[in-house]
């Protein structure tokens, strides 16, 4: 499978185009504004480097999911940008490519860019096939993990079908994983178990109360007000955490107790920005 750098070829095409049509543009900004039209011209112009096939139609010759997805992975392995027409062909072929993309997700030796791209394509295809893969990823994770954070967005997009599978395993997750899965669950209010898990986490994790207050606000259940108001009065509560708790209380229709923060360094720093 040949690896062609479509971005470099487009840059050459655009440069030649602008030289040939420079008298049509009032300034450089006008040229930049015309780039989408130039790109369409690039896609529809026969290219010698593709055997006189147009860049826009080159990948439409291929429909084998293994060929297409392995090609994507090969681009990433070579450090060459994945061509948009290749990704468009994968989404066009659609369902037959889903299984192969999920296999790419599971390949821990694949380039992270390839796996990130696979997540994006599966999300664009509205696939639910990687649901359990994404959930399992969260059980043992680091606090910072772009790949798994990307997967969280897909879980949210999959809707309420993710709720029960997450509830079945959230008790096995490490701290970072539990927090990540709560981020997903709290997009689906009205579930008693989700509310109880989130409220319990808020009560037991003072260091995470700013984040968890936001989750409680998102759930929209005013039964959380008592715990929020109590937390708002806790001794030594950092100013920024207080602000998040206050926002949650007000979102749920409550009234937050007043407190002074004149000697708090966070308060002073923020006041200095005003």
pLDDT tens-place string over residues 162-207: 999 999 999 999 999 999 999 999 999 999 999 999 999 999 999 9
For the residues of 176-227, what is the DSSP string, one character each?
HHHHHHHHHHTTSTT-HHHHHHHHHHHHH-GGGHHHHHHHHHHHT-GGGHHH
The pLDDT-based confidence of 10 (bands split at 50, 70, 90) is: very high
The residues, ordered by sequence, that sit 6+ positions from 166 with a Cβ below 8 Å of its Cβ are 135, 155, 181, 184, 185
Contact yes or no for 59/86 (Cβ under 8 A): yes
Tokens linked to 113: 């860019």
Predicted TM-score (pTM) of the model is 0.87
**Mean pLDDT over each residue of the chain, to the nearest integer:** 93
Tokens linked to 50: 């593709």
The answer, yes or no, to whether residue 268 has pLDDT greater than 60, is no
The string of pLDDT tens digits covering residues 223-243 is 999 999 999 999 989 889 999
Measured between alpha carbons, how far is 159 from 171 in angstroms, rounded to an integer? 21
Q: Label residues 197-214 b or e (16+ Cβ within 10 Å = b).
A: bbbebbeeeeebbbbbbb
The residues, ordered by sequence, that sit 6+ positions from 181 with a Cβ below 8 Å of its Cβ are 135, 138, 166, 170, 173
* Domains of the chain by residue range: 1-127, 130-188, 200-274
């Amino acid at each position: 499978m040949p690896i062609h750098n479509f971005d470099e070829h487009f840059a050459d095409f655009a440069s030649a185009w602008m030289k040939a049509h420079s008298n049509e543009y009032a300034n450089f900004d006008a040229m930049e504004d015309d780039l989408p039209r130039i790109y369409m011209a690039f896609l529809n112009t026969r290219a010698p480097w593709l055997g006189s096939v147009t860049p826009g139609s080159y990948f439409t010759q291929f429909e084998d999911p293994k060929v297409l997805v392995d090609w994507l992975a090969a681009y990433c392995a070579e450090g060459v940008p994945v061509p948009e027409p290749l990704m468009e062909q994968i989404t066009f072929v659609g369902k037959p490519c889903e299984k192969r993309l999920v296999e790419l997700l599971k390949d821990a030796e694949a380039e992270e860019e390839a796996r990130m791209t696979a997540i994006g394509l599966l999300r664009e295809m509205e696939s639910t096939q990687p649901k359990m893969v994404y959930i399992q990823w969260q059980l043992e994770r680091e606090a910072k993990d772009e790949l798994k954070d990307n997967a969280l967005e897909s879980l949210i997009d999959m809707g309420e079908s993710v709720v029960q599978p997450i509830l079945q395993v959230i008790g096995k997750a490490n701290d970072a994983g539990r927090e990540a899965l709560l981020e997903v669950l709290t997009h689906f209010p009205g579930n008693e178990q989700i509310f109880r898990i989130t409220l319990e986490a808020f009560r037991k994790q003072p260091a995470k109360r700013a984040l968890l207050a936001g989750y409680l606000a998102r759930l929209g259940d005013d039964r959380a007000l008592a715990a929020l108001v109590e937390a708002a009065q806790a001794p030594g509560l950092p100013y920024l955490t207080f602000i998040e708790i206050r926002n949650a209380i007000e979102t749920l229709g409550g009234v937050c107790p007043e407190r002074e923060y004149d000697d708090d360094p966070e308060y002073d720093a923020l006041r200095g920005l005003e």
